[in-house]
Amino acid sequence: MPRNLLWTERLTIDFGGIRAVDGLDLEVRRDEVLAIIGPNGSGKTTLFNLIAHLYTPTSGKIHFGNPPVDLAKYAAHEINALGVARTFQTIRLFPNLTVVENVLIGMNARLKGGLISAVLRPPRTRRQETEAEEEALEILSLFGHRLISMYNEPAFTLSYANRRRLEIARALASRPKLLLLDEPAAGMNPNETREVMEDIRRIHEGGRSIAVIEHDMNLVEGIAHRVVAMDHGVKIAEGSYREVRADPEVIKAYLGSGANASGMPASGART
Amino acid sequence: MPEKDFVACQAAIEPQKGPRRLVDAAIAGTAVAALCVAFAVGLAIRQLPYFVVYLAAAIAIALLLRRGPMAGIAERVGAAFGSSRPTAVGVLVLALAAYPILFQGNPYLIQVGALSAIYVIMASGLNITLGYAGLLDIGFAVYFGAGAYTSAQLAVNFGVSFWIGIVLGGLCASIFGFIVAWPALRVHDHYLGLVTLGYGLMMNLLARNLRFLTNGTDGVINIPPPSIGAHDFTRPLILGPLTLPFQANFYYLALAIALITCFVSYRLRESSLGRAWEAIREDEIAARCSGVNARGMKILAFSTGAFFGGVGGSIFAHMIGYIGPDSFTFLESITVLVMVVLGGAGNIVGAALGAVLLVIIPERFREFQELRLLLFGVALVLLMIGRPQGILPRRRARRLLPQEKLAALSLGEAGPGRNARASSDGTLGA
Amino acid sequence: MLSENWAQQIVNVATIGGMYTLVAVGFTIFFGVLGLINFAHGEVFMLGAFAALVVARTLDFTSTAGGVAMIAAMFVFATLFCGVVGAAIERVAFKPVRRAPMLVMLITSLGVSFILREAVREFFPDGANPLAFPSPFQSAEIRLRGVVISDTQILLIAASVLIVIGLYYLVERTWIGRSMRAIAEDRDAARMMGVDVDRVILAAFFIGSALGGVAGVMNGLYYLSIRFDMGWVMAIKGFTAAVIGGLGNIYGAAAGGYLLALLEVLIVALVPEGSEYKDVLVFLVLILMLVFRPSGIFRQAPQKVG
Ligand SMILES: Nc1ncnc2c1ncn2[C@@H]1O[C@H](COP(=O)(O)OP(=O)(O)OP(=O)(O)O)[C@@H](O)[C@H]1O
Ligand SMILES: [Mg+2]
């Protein structure tokens, strides 16, 4: 079994004049929680969009799985089926679908059946639907009562924190080998952030590799096995949280971008 | 928004048992019957002034039921519908079946009924494309035309039976849906509307010019009516002691297919396909990243919707006996579009209601032939300002939580940590 | 001979293209400020022609001087009339649905379009038939090495070119133009920056509709016949031109109008049975543009996700 679940090879993408990701070599190891940090506009979200094949790389490759396949050869929904699921920095739910329906969509790639079985609804299809709903409930239960109590409510009625949770639940419904989380704690208060941390830990214990983009250094310190720092589309540091935080390149990058509260905290952060 | 107690939530959608259930069924059945009678009365009124009074009264009652003192009644009836849908549908089907018997003295009204059913078929088709998948199609008449020309030409030139022609007509229409789905994969919203609009106009012009296929502006004439065995659809329909005018043949044909169409589109919506369509409508990128094959689903939505458009066109051609380029103009596309939006996009009963209203009301105002489109325009503007979501907007079915699973998860009152947080969330949530 | 023929065609392109351009600019302005495809715009164009007809029937002209005054009166009245009608439509019909989904606005504009067209057909004297449009010109022609240009054409070409230049000043140099561009960029941001969004949208409708009215008068003067349903064809041509230039891009629309006219003339000249299939090809261009160059032929904006 190779150590890496996903690795990129000189991955590059240009938007007009901007090179948002520049010759990036990055790996996500099996069974790890990798945190990706970097100042605003450093290309982190773009990296996720490349992995999900919402963008096609200008050059370079993205390998995934065992035996490895080149993700650039697959469409976004096929990548989901291969075992990569994600959340979005700007929450993208299906606002008029109910909470449970949102989760069921995450299973779409796995559910079988075409027009005929949809219309005739044979026992097999009915069973599949029941099992899907049970699984959805199980996934929702990860967040206690919070989402289950809103089971039949449209997603747009959820609170901000619950929307973020529902996005994670939907991604989990795809049974991903690799879960990509784009700033899961953005806009959350300290209590909620701590809870997100616990949730991510629990999801990881459930046997999933996770790559998480995050600005909150407490959260990064709390969950990441490894940290990669990016700036201007380039990987500038890699290693444990302590190593990366002490890296002069990283400090320079954050200072250069006008460090702020959401950026790199001063040394001696809270535990 | 504070989270509700989920036990209470569950109770509200628990299936009703015993007497309460019977009462619900009775209420729902009576309500449908009452609506049907009211509708029949509206049709029976001959003098226009009275009809206008009737229409005003109907609108007034509808408004009172929504906001006024009668809102409680409406709510109770709504709840009854929720729990006893089969009864409601059963009563409705019976009433629809009785319609030609009731109006046997008025073949014209039976014909209007058949036309309504044809438009119900088409509106249900567009409801799949537009209502479920959110794909704006302003060229729906293309499919109507494709279905009509296919089965008409097959019948006229090759003597192909209507029953085969209607299927081939539907399939041919789906090919036209398939064709427009390809550009539709790349464009959204307005742009998609304009693409389909251009497509509709282009196909209509082609139908005028490609004489070898369509006979040009002369159209196809003398399309034979359908027949079952020895029974020709242009002969009166004899049902035991009853002799109904020949229009009843077409009425029952169109009604049967309309009911099948509604059933199919209901099943589709409640399936994983329907869910995927709705996800694309809500957020295509999120849907793709969640494993929805957006390309495939869009093509399927266009083709399926178009199929029903073609079926409708096929019945129409064989009922009227003629099809020409003027039968499927831009106005036709707009009419079907408005039916869906007026009734409530995404809702099957809504789209059907929109279709029936848009066929019947203009027929009632035939004395004002000249002003019809003007009034249509006024009605459109007023409706879009007053009730943009349509008369009967889509309501989502509430799913019952899988009880056994819930018990197995033992969420109960256990897990103090999570529970404590759950109770404080009301203040934490943004 | 051939080159003279081509020169003649170019004159025609300039004439027809000017009309397309004026209508296209309206479409593009409405799309810019409201994100709306205004199906009623073709009808406003038609109203312009009818308004000018009313002027011509009311006033009387015999002398050449009277003719010039007549033309001026037609244009002024039709412009103001259509501007006011457009602004009124915005207030009565579009403002209430401004925040509604796109489909709702679209259907509203269709409703308005039915109302205007049918009202003319029903209530204008003899409105259901084609009506002769009087021309104050004596049909003087200028011959330049075999190329025939009527005085009407000179007027129309000059007018449309002048208006496009005027539009440039309006968009670049006035508060209305700047506000319109700000709203097209981001309506809420513009509001926060202190732009009076309601007023600017109203002004935009006045301007766009007035331009449509001008095109209507031109159409009457050129073809000497008008009809209640002339707006629909022009609407399709107009928004195709706007799409060619990129919806929301005013200069693009101006160029798009002339390009579309050129394309039509080329098709008729080069394709056998071209006039029969001319409109088919126009629709094809519309579809292909929307699919492959949705932001027009002049620029390409990338989409952002996630
Ligand atoms: N679709 C696009 N078109 C043009 N430029 C883009 C696009 N997507 C991203 N960019 C540019 O690429 C760069 C990287 O953006 P990206 O969103 O990946 O940053 P990020 O690291 O996620 O920042 P943040 O922390 O603010 O989320 C930015 O300069 C951005 O403007
Ligand atoms: Mg980002």
Cα separation, B282 vs B292, whole angstroms: 12
Assign C302 a pLDDT band (cuts: 50, 70, 90): very low
Residue C180: pLDDT over 80: yes
Poorest-pLDDT segment among A89-93, A96-100, B9-13, B238-242: B9-13
B290:A170 CB<8 A? yes
Adjacent-strand bridge partners of C225: C132
Q: Span B197-220, mean pLDDT?
A: 90
Interface test with B, best of C34, C97, C278, C283 (most B CBs within 10 A): C283
| B157 shares its domain with B235 | yes
Chain mean pLDDT for chain A? 90
> In angstroms, how far is the first alpha carbon of chain C from the final one?
60
Residue C100: pLDDT over 70: yes
Q: Which atom of ligand 1 is nearest to the CA of A183?
A: 27
Residue A179: pLDDT over 90: yes
Assign A112 a pLDDT band (cuts: 50, 70, 90): confident
- CA-CA-CA-CA torsion sign (C34, C35, C40, C41): positive
- pLDDT the model gives residue C121: 93
- pLDDT the model gives residue C64: 57
Cα separation, B265 vs B254, whole angstroms: 16
Assign C259 a pLDDT band (cuts: 50, 70, 90): very high
Q: Span C23-51, mean pLDDT?
A: 92
Q: Pick the more confident residue, C79 or B61.
A: C79
Cis ω before C96 (30° cut-off from 0) = no
- pLDDT the model gives residue B10: 56
B-contacting chains (≥3 CB pairs under 8 Å): A, C
Assign B304 a pLDDT band (cuts: 50, 70, 90): very high
What does the DSSP 8-state code read for residue C124?
A: S
State pLDDT tens for residues B24-74: 888 889 989 999 999 888 888 888 888 889 989 988 888 888 777 788 888
Percentage of chain A with pLDDT > 90? 80
Residue A261: pLDDT over 70: no
Poorest-pLDDT segment among B403-407, B408-412, C82-86: B408-412
Residue A135: pLDDT over 70: yes
In a domain? residue C127: yes
Assign C11 a pLDDT band (cuts: 50, 70, 90): confident
- Name residue C152's amino acid: T
> What is the Cα gyration radius of chain B?
24
| B414 shares its domain with B293 | no
A260 close to ligand 1 (CB < 6 Angstrom): no
| B123 shares its domain with B87 | no
Q: What is the ipTM of this complex?
A: 0.91
B288:A77 CB<8 A? yes
Distinct helix (H) and strand (E) counts, chain B: 19, 4
| B319 shares its domain with B258 | yes
Q: Give, in degrees to the nearest 5, the angle at Cα C239 between C237 and C245.
A: 105
Residues in contact with B131: Cβ distance below 8 Å, sequence separation at least 6, in sequence order: B340, B345, B346, B347, B351, B394
Percentage of chain B with pLDDT > 90? 54
At residue B423, the 3 state secondary structure works out as helix
| B345 shares its domain with B205 | yes
| B83 shares its domain with B159 | no
Name the phi and psi angles at A209, rounded to 5: -85, 145
State pLDDT tens for residues C57-70: 888 666 556 677 88
Name the phi and psi angles at C225, rounded to 5: -155, 135
Assign A268 a pLDDT band (cuts: 50, 70, 90): very low
Taking CB atoms and an 8 Å cutoff, what residues of chain B touch A110? Answer: 291
Q: Are B289 and A86 in contact (CB under 8 A)?
A: yes
| B79 shares its domain with B9 | yes
| B413 shares its domain with B363 | no
Q: Span A174-199, mean pLDDT?
A: 94
Ligand approaching nearest to the C-alpha of A215: 1
Residue B346: pLDDT over 60: yes
Ligand 1 site-directed mutation target among A22, A46, A55, A58, most atoms within 8 Å of CB: A46
What does the DSSP 8-state code read for residue B38?
A: H
- What is the CA C92 to chain-centroid distance, rounded? 22
| B39 shares its domain with B186 | no
- pLDDT the model gives residue A191: 92
Q: Span A183-200, mean pLDDT?
A: 93
Assign residue C261 the CATH number of its domain: 1.10.3470
The Cβ-side half-sphere exposure at B35, using a 13 Å CA radius, reads 17
Cα separation, C189 vs C195, whole angstroms: 9
Residues in contact with B55: Cβ distance below 8 Å, sequence separation at least 6, in sequence order: B42
Taking CB atoms and an 8 Å cutoff, what residues of chain A touch B421? Answer: 144, 191, 195
Taking CB atoms and an 8 Å cutoff, what residues of chain A touch C302? Answer: 15-16
User: A 190-219 residues with CB below 8 A of C?
Assistant: none
Residues in contact with B3: Cβ distance below 8 Å, sequence separation at least 6, in sequence order: A145, A146, A149, A150, A162, B422, B425, B426
Query: How many structural domains does chain C have?
Result: 1
Q: Is C246 exposed, middle or buried (0-12, 13-18, 19+ CB in 10 A)?
A: buried
- pLDDT the model gives residue A118: 92
Poorest-pLDDT segment among A35-39, A123-127, A154-158, B77-81: B77-81
| B158 shares its domain with B28 | no
Neighbours of B368 (CB within 10 A): 12
| B322 shares its domain with B421 | no
Residues in contact with A234: Cβ distance below 8 Å, sequence separation at least 6, in sequence order: A22, A23, A24
CB-based contact, A16 to chain C, within 8 Å: yes
Assign C139 a pLDDT band (cuts: 50, 70, 90): low
Cα separation, B71 vs B84, whole angstroms: 20
Assign B410 a pLDDT band (cuts: 50, 70, 90): low
Residues in contact with C46: Cβ distance below 8 Å, sequence separation at least 6, in sequence order: C116, C117, C120, C216, C226, C228, C229, C230, C231, C234
Adjacent-strand bridge partners of A6: A28, A64
- pLDDT the model gives residue B21: 81
- pLDDT the model gives residue A270: 35
Poorest-pLDDT segment among B169-173, B285-289, C71-75, C210-214: C71-75
| B382 shares its domain with B405 | no
Cα separation, B197 vs A211, whole angstroms: 45
- Tell the residue nearest (CA) to atom 6 of ligand 1: A15
CB-based contact, C272 to chain A, within 8 Å: no
Q: For B160-210, where are the alpha helices, taking DSSP H only? A: 162-184, 189-209
Q: Give, in degrees to the nearest 5, the angle at Cα A167 between A166 and A169.
A: 60
Q: Span A184-202, mean pLDDT?
A: 93
- pLDDT the model gives residue B429: 31
Chain mean pLDDT for chain B? 86
Percentage of chain C with pLDDT > 90? 41
Cα separation, C101 vs B393, whole angstroms: 14
Domain span holding position C222: 2-292
Cα separation, B418 vs A146, whole angstroms: 9
Taking CB atoms and an 8 Å cutoff, what residues of chain C touch B183? Answer: 287, 290-291
Assign A258 a pLDDT band (cuts: 50, 70, 90): low
Assign B424 a pLDDT band (cuts: 50, 70, 90): very low
- Tell the residue nearest (CA) to atom 28 of ligand 1: A41
A38 close to ligand 1 (CB < 6 Angstrom): yes
Residues in contact with B298: Cβ distance below 8 Å, sequence separation at least 6, in sequence order: B133, B135, B181, B184, B185, B280
Q: Are B340 and B131 in contact (CB under 8 A)?
A: yes
In a domain? residue C149: yes
- pLDDT the model gives residue B425: 37
Domain span holding position B123: 105-393
B183:C93 CB<8 A? no
Closest CA to C229 of C30, C42, C25: C42
Query: How many structural domains does chain B have?
Result: 2
